Amino acid sequence: MRLELTEVLACPRCGCDYGLIGLVDQMEGRRIVAGRLDCPNCEDRHPIVDGVVHLLGSAAEQAGDPVAVAGDVADMSSALLGPPAGPEVLLVGQGLPSLANRLAELRPDAWVISYAAPQVPIHERVHCIVPVVGGPLPLRSARVDGVIMSGEAALDLAEAARVLAPDRRLLILMPGPDVSRAVAATVQIRELAADSRAWLGVRT
């Protein structure tokens, strides 16, 4: 877990207005290898083990990688997010660990948060968070520069809209037939393009 990302994370119990405080036992450069993140409000403690944040109530489910992330899919995803304007934080949903690694290679100033238990060797700029079952995304509002999810393992769309900064993009790979209607219900996301491989929207 990159040290700077502790300013983006929020307490999964208290909500997006409550940040977490990092307590470090071991660092490698700017990466926290061991330690914990504490909430000063509810006093929950979330251990960091081998660089991975384990949120309380998490289930380390070993979902597969539903999108076989060939180079063209990763290249397409990076292109649809738009050109990076300096350092950025990207969120990759469950089931896409290969894509998280490839995005870190394609976008050299990106910190990639993979919202899943680590399943493949992790790139040094990919930071895994084991998800909270049924809870909101443990991220501060409007702090993320791009969200990518799979239509088969989609994050909550309203939560994806909440964490996205204005004018930043949401990409859904392998979208279901009702994705346009579902996203329209969030109000905050405007559709930019859609086909059978990908749905792209922007946070208004």
CATH fold of the domain at 71-203: Rossmann fold (3.40.50)
pLDDT at 5: 85
pLDDT at 59: 36
200 compared with 94, residue with greater pLDDT: 200
pLDDT band at 115 (very low <50, low <70, confident <90, very high): confident
Rounded to an integer, what distance in angstroms lies between the CA atom of residue 99 and that of residue 34? 25
Judged against a pLDDT cut of 80, whether residue 118 lies above it is answered with: no
Judged against a pLDDT cut of 80, whether residue 68 lies above it is answered with: no
Q: What is the pTM of this model?
A: 0.73
pLDDT band at 167 (very low <50, low <70, confident <90, very high): very high
Q: What is the mean pLDDT of residues 60-78?
A: 58
What is the share, in percent, of the chain residues with pLDDT greater than 70? 88
In this structure, are residues 171 and 99 in contact, taking their beta carbons and an 8 Å threshold?
Answer: no
pLDDT at 103: 92
Query: What's the pLDDT tens digit per position in 5-50?
Result: 888 888 888 888 888 888 888 999 988 888 888 888 888 888 888 8
In this structure, are residues 144 and 124 in contact, taking their beta carbons and an 8 Å threshold?
Answer: no
DSSP state letter for 5: G
pLDDT at 107: 93
pLDDT at 152: 60
Judged against a pLDDT cut of 90, whether residue 181 lies above it is answered with: no
* Radius of gyration (C-alpha) of the chain in whole angstroms: 16
Judged against a pLDDT cut of 60, whether residue 74 lies above it is answered with: yes
**Amino acid making up residue 170:** L
pLDDT at 70: 45
Rounded to 10 deg, the angle between the 71-81 and 97-106 helix axes is 60
Domain ranges of the chain: 3-54, 71-203
